[in-house]
Structures are given as structure tokens and as C-alpha cells.
Amino acid sequence: MEKLDSMDMAILSVLRRQGRISNADLAERVGLSPSACSRRLDILEKSGVIEGYYARISHKALDYKMMVIVHISLSGQFAKTLTEFEAAVKRVPNVMVCYLMSGEYDYLLRVACKDLEDYERLHRDWLSALPHVVKIVSSFALREIIDRPNVEIR
């Protein structure tokens, strides 16, 4: 897709806050006809600008009261090592986010757990068994201050 114009940005700004808005209401909010708005949405979706729509479910409502930040060091940074680790970490339940990092650690994970025993089980059965892991450092979040699903659209 080419560069986003001001109308695309207006559409994205509304969708960021109201993902379930009807096409007619969205069109009215941004000043387009419903058919023109629908065409633009289709282009934004097909080009990958809009990656999907989903319900944001409270972790606490599902009894996941603990968020753990996990730093992982691998035995090396060879392509095969990274590929094998990344394929395996995608299968680990409760991993919400995984980043390849620069700096002291190779990966950073955000993991949701029900309680300390749940994290201990996950650490023992999954994280410690990941290929090429030589060090795991866990930090437990005391309180969530902010967790935005997207950046602000300007």
C-alpha cells in the first residue's frame, strides 16, 4: 500500500477506539459515503495496515492475575539457534508477547499466569525446555499502569 492519507488516518483513528463501529457510522464520522468507506477499509485490510479485529479480554476475568516479564539468553545468535527457539516459543501457552532483543538478553517475553504455582509449572515444563536456553530471568509485575493495544494515531 502507498502512504496513508488523511482519510485513512481518520478511519484508523476511529477504529482504534471503536473497532466494532458499523460501516455506516464510520463513514459518517469520517465524512465519506458508506461505499467509499467500505472500499477504503477493504484496501486497508488487504494491504495489512489493519491486521485484524478482536475482543480484548480481561486477563483477570480469566483468572490470570499475574504478569511476568521473562528475559532469556541463548547459547548463541546463530540463525539456526534463533529459528529453533522462535518456533518452540510460539507453542508455549501463556506467552503473550515475544521480542528478539538487542543488549544483555536475547529475548523478552510477557507471560500471563494464574498465580506463582502456575508460573513455576510453566517455567519448569516449558520455558526451561526451550532449545538453546542458558539463562532465564523473571520479573513479576506488581501493577499494570498502561497497556495500549496500538499507538496513538496523529
Per-residue pLDDT of the chain (154 residues; tens, 9 = 90+): 678 999 999 999 999 889 999 999 999 999 999 999 999 999 999 999 999 988 888 888 999 999 999 999 999 999 999 999 999 999 999 999 999 999 999 999 999 999 999 999 999 999 999 999 999 999 999 999 998 888 888 7
Which long-range contacts does 19-23 make (Cβ < 8 Å, 24+ apart)? 19/53, 19/54, 20/53
Whole-Å CA distances, 1 to 23, 40, 44, 66? 21, 11, 8, 39
Same-domain check for residues 35 and 103? no
Is 4 strand, coil or helix?
coil
**CATH (domain of 34):** 1.10.10.10
Is 107 strand, coil or helix?
strand
What is the number of domains present in the chain?
2
Q: Residue 96 and residue 104: Cα distance in Å, rounded?
A: 21
Same-domain check for residues 72 and 119? yes
pTM of the shown model: 0.83
Is 122 strand, coil or helix?
helix
- Domain hosting 77: range is 60-140
Put residue 102 in one of left, alpha, beta given phi > 0 → left and psi -120 to 50 → alpha. beta
Q: Taking the C-alpha atoms of 126, 69, 100 and 83 in order, what is their torsion angle to the nearest 10 degrees?
A: 0
Same-domain check for residues 10 and 39? yes
pLDDT at 1: 62
Same-domain check for residues 67 and 129? yes
